Amino acid sequence: MKKSVYLKDVVSLRLNQGKCNGCGMCLIVCPHAVFGLDNGHALIQNRDACMECGACAQNCSANAVTVQAGVGCAAAIINTALGRDSSSCCCLEEPKNTPATQIDMIQQTD
């Protein structure tokens, strides 16, 4: 199976191996197998496959992983689905003159 690569050398993902406690949670939650284990500590084995979802950082009990979640491809896909234009990749602005989305309709019924 071909590995996913988004944009080369632009991901904000960082790992402080000195803080890593070797729990392996980053390996479990990462949807693209970005991490591996070496000598009881995590390592980044495929940085360019990271989609910056933030699952690794949110689940790292040692705070060894940092990433600017939402600034990568995932944010662009979500914003497009919500009717935002491509320039709003990193913003949370409201869609302009777009029909109500399913999310809007769900929120209105809550």
Helix (H, G, I), strand (E, B) or coil at 14: strand
- Helix (H) / strand (E) containing 36: strand 35-38
User: What residue has token string 């495929």?
Assistant: 46
Q: Would you state the pLDDT for residue 68?
A: 87
Q: What pLDDT was estimated at residue 81?
A: 74
Write down the CATH number for the domain with range 14-66. 3.30.70.20
For residue range 72-87, what is the model confidence (pLDDT) as tens digits? 555 666 667 777 765 4
Ranges of each domain in the chain: 14-66, 73-109
